[in-house]
Amino acid sequence: MSNGDSGSKGSLLWLIYIALLISGGLLLADALGVRAMTRLTVRLGTALVFSAVALIAGKDKPAAIVAIAIVWIAVLITLFN
């Protein structure tokens, strides 16, 4: 097994970890009623900026798409809560 094989499989896991942190932060802020995060524009802006970064960094790989889906699901949960 070469170094390129192990690096290519796990190289984009950081996107999923960041997505989980952002989603958790959005959900906790919604539950606790944090004023800065309860505005719709802040939640949508956070999701859009993360989506752009993930698409640029991930280059349409499955890990990037999963990370984007995680964040947008959290935004949708906070919208319909």
pLDDT for the residue 81:
77
Give Cα separations from 26 to 4, 18, 54, 75 (angstroms): 35, 12, 17, 7
Range of 28's domain? 11-79
Total of domains in the chain: 1
Residue 35 is assigned to a structural domain of this protein: yes
pLDDT for the residue 7:
53
Q: What is the pLDDT of residues 3-58, one digit of tens each?
A: 555 555 558 899 999 999 999 999 999 999 998 888 899 999 999 999 999 999 99
Task: Tell me the pLDDT band of 1, cut-offs 50, 70 and 90.
Answer: very low
Residue 45 is assigned to a structural domain of this protein: yes
pLDDT for the residue 11:
81
Residue 6 is assigned to a structural domain of this protein: no
Residue 18 is assigned to a structural domain of this protein: yes
pLDDT for the residue 10:
56
